[in-house]
């Protein structure tokens, strides 16, 4: 009967611990522990875990479709936050992105061999995940049986030639409906996340090259005015962000460079965690993060991006966006058409399923989850200002994902 005594003692203790750490926050006092992730629903609330959020921060999170974490540490978000991926202090003079890709793939393959794990690559057919696939295939060489490709029907549609030539019948493969199905703590999962943070924001894709090449001070207020539906809201957002803008590596950034900087310096951390945060069981989050390698989440790529601003796009044509990655793919596949014509597509949209409908999610530095109901106050106010101006801004983070990394 000793086991019954232990059970009777352990059960209330376990319940107490669950209620203390896993239950929704009850607003007894501002949560003192720094946050490392919050989704858009949480970030546009007037308060988060007892902390009042600046209106400029809320508007910026709504516009950029993410809970922003300023990796420079300049901005006050209204709550304490922890930077988990610091911006490197030094930059690289390397101009050859292919060598950075090859080195990164070698590191991932070495980890898989050391841990005796399968590499499971989440392939979307887009530029970022295809470049990651090419790099890993090169690093594996004859050991390609260690690689498993997870994809959707949309992946095949996006790059059918690559699937037919390099995946089908050659590699282990698995068709999934949602990207969360790819994750398993027993394998090493690789994604194409952070590619967009290196090369520039999808927000830029909505704009003309005249706007993108203009000084941001001239173009951005006009662009925001069409979205935020109020000169007051535009001013509030820009006054909040401007101190952080001054940290941009370009001393006089045009709008394209500024949008890249926001994506690189403030959206990066959200991208590092968003898929595990929104798809994993809360108890599995830490294991999911530990078993995931976002291919472009590496200091070497960050240094390359900072030191090679001219490699992001050739202004005048969107088909040149990410051209160094497309050249890297072409050197492996010989596919000239993909290299010359491929443009960004919303590769993740529809592939991420969240079970937290109507709730905002935050994760603190102890990897504890907190939930609060979404607050439509900001969205309602903007819609009241101008319904048409609100088109394109989504409250749900997953509706705002535009491609492999953003």
Report d(CA 400, CA 397) in Å as an integer: 5
Contact (CB, 8 A) for 45 and 27: no
Report d(CA 349, CA 154) in Å as an integer: 10
Report d(CA 355, CA 368) in Å as an integer: 17
Residue 105 maps to a domain: yes
Residue 190 maps to a domain: yes
pTM: 0.87
In the numeric block, which tokens belong to residue 34?
Answer: 């720094």
Contact (CB, 8 A) for 315 and 371: no
- The average pLDDT across 126-147 equals 97
Answer positive or negative: Cα dihedral of 31, 32, 37, 38: positive
Flag whether pLDDT at 155 surpasses 60. Answer: yes
Residue 180: pLDDT band by 50, 70, 90 thresholds? Answer: confident
Residue 217 maps to a domain: no
pLDDT of residue 282: 78
Report d(CA 181, CA 174) in Å as an integer: 10
Residue 77 maps to a domain: no
Report d(CA 181, CA 267) in Å as an integer: 24
Residue 265 maps to a domain: no
Contact (CB, 8 A) for 35 and 362: yes
Report d(CA 126, CA 350) in Å as an integer: 15
Contact (CB, 8 A) for 78 and 53: yes
Residue 284: pLDDT band by 50, 70, 90 thresholds? Answer: confident
User: In 74-178, where does DSSP find H-type helix?
Assistant: 97-115, 127-140, 153-158, 160-162
Residue 21: pLDDT band by 50, 70, 90 thresholds? Answer: very low
Q: Each residue of 295-344: pLDDT tens digit? A: 999 999 999 999 999 999 999 899 999 999 999 999 999 999 999 988 87
* Residues 6 or more apart in contact with residue 334 via CB below 8 angstroms: none
Helix pair 127-140, 97-115: axis angle to 10 deg: 60
**Residue 128 sits in a domain of what CATH number?**
3.40.50.620
Q: Each residue of 339-373: pLDDT tens digit? A: 998 887 655 544 444 556 689 999 999 999 999 99
pLDDT, the chain, mean = 86
Long-range contacts of 373-378 (CB under 8 A, 24+ apart): 374/41, 374/42, 374/45, 375/44, 375/45, 375/46, 377/46, 378/44, 378/46, 378/58, 378/59, 378/62
Residue 320 maps to a domain: yes
Residue 81 maps to a domain: no
Number of domains in the chain: 1
Report d(CA 293, CA 119) in Å as an integer: 10
pLDDT of residue 280: 72
pLDDT of residue 87: 96
* Structural domain span for residue 279: 97-198+274-341
Residue 2 maps to a domain: no
pLDDT of residue 154: 93
Residue indicated by tokens 């390698």: 293
- The average pLDDT across 91-106 equals 88
- The average pLDDT across 95-120 equals 96
């Amino acid at each position: 009967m000793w086991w019954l005594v232990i059970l009777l003692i352990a059960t209330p203790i376990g319940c107490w611990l669950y209620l203390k750490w896993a239950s929704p926050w009850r607003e007894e006092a501002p949560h003192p522990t720094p946050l490392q992730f919050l989704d858009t629903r949480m970030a546009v609330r007037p308060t988060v875990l007892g902390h009042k959020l600046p209106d400029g921060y809320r508007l910026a999170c709504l516009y950029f479709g993410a809970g922003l974490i300023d990796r420079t540490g300049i901005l006050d978000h209204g709550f304490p936050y922890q930077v988990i991926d610091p911006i490197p202090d030094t930059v690289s003079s390397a101009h050859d992105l292919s060598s950075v890709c090859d080195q990164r793939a070698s590191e991932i393959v070495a980890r898989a061999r050391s841990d005796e794990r399968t590499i499971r690559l989440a392939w979307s057919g887009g530029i970022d995940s295809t470049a990651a696939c090419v790099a890993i295939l090169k690093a594996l060489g004859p050991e390609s049986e260690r690689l498993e490709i997870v994809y959707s029907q949309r992946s095949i549609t996006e790059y059918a030639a690559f699937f037919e030539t390099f995946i089908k019948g050659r590699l282990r493969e698995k068709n999934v409906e949602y990207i969360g199905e790819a994750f398993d703590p027993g394998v090493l999962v690789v994604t194409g996340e952070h590619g967009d943070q290196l090369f520039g924001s999808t927000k830029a894709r909505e704009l003309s090259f005249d706007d993108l090449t203009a000084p941001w001070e001239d173009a951005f207020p006009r662009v925001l005015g069409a979205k935020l539906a109020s000169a007051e809201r535009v001013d509030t957002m820009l006054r909040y962000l401007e101190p952080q803008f001054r940290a941009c590596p370009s001393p006089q950034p045009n709008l394209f460079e500024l949008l890249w900087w926001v994506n690189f310096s403030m959206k990066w951390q959200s991208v590092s965690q968003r898929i595990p945060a929104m798809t994993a069981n809360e108890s599995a989050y830490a294991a999911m993060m530990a078993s995931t390698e976002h291919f472009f989440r590496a200091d070497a790529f960050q240094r390359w991006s900072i030191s090679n601003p001219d490699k992001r796009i050739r202004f005048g044509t969107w088909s040149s966006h990410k051209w160094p990655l497309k050249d890297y793919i072409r050197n492996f596949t010989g596919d000239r058409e993909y290299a010359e014509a491929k443009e960004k597509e919303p590769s993740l949209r529809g592939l991420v399923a969240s079970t937290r409908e109507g709730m905002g999610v935050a994760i603190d530095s102890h990897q504890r989850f907190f939930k609060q109901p979404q607050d439509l106050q900001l969205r309602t106010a903007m819609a009241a200002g101008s319904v048409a101006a609100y088109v394109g801004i989504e409250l749900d983070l997953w509706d705002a994902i535009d491609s492999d990394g953003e």
